[in-house]
Amino acid sequence: MDIDTLKQTGVALYGPRWQTNLARDLNLSDARRVRQWVAGERRIPPHIWPEVGKLIDAKIAKLETVKEELPC
């Protein structure tokens, strides 16, 4: 996985101000870590990707629940 994948995923999950939110949900002590990954200053740790996958699954489940409640 690469920086572009992280950016696309972050924007899909949280919108344009995604870095701080992603850091929070990954329980990182500082959003600077995410910014360092994006800038290529630090390698994205492999253990992050399964956690990001869990965040995606949670977002999908939440959206499905909201969709079921729509008055259609």
Largest CA distance in the chain: 48
Residue 8's CB: how many other CB atoms inside 10 A?
Answer: 12
Instruction: Give the domain range for residue 18.
Output: 3-68
Whether residue 61 contacts residue 13, with contact meaning beta carbons closer than 8 Å, is answered with no
1 band by pLDDT with thresholds 50, 70 and 90:
low
Whether residue 26 contacts residue 48, with contact meaning beta carbons closer than 8 Å, is answered with yes
Who contacts 1 (Cβ-Cβ below 8 Å, separation ≥6)?
44, 49
Name residue, tokens 């899909």: 12
In angstroms, the CA 26 to CA 3 distance is 16
- 25-59 confidence digits (pLDDT tens): 999 999 999 999 999 999 999 999 999 999 999 99
Tally the domains of the chain: 1
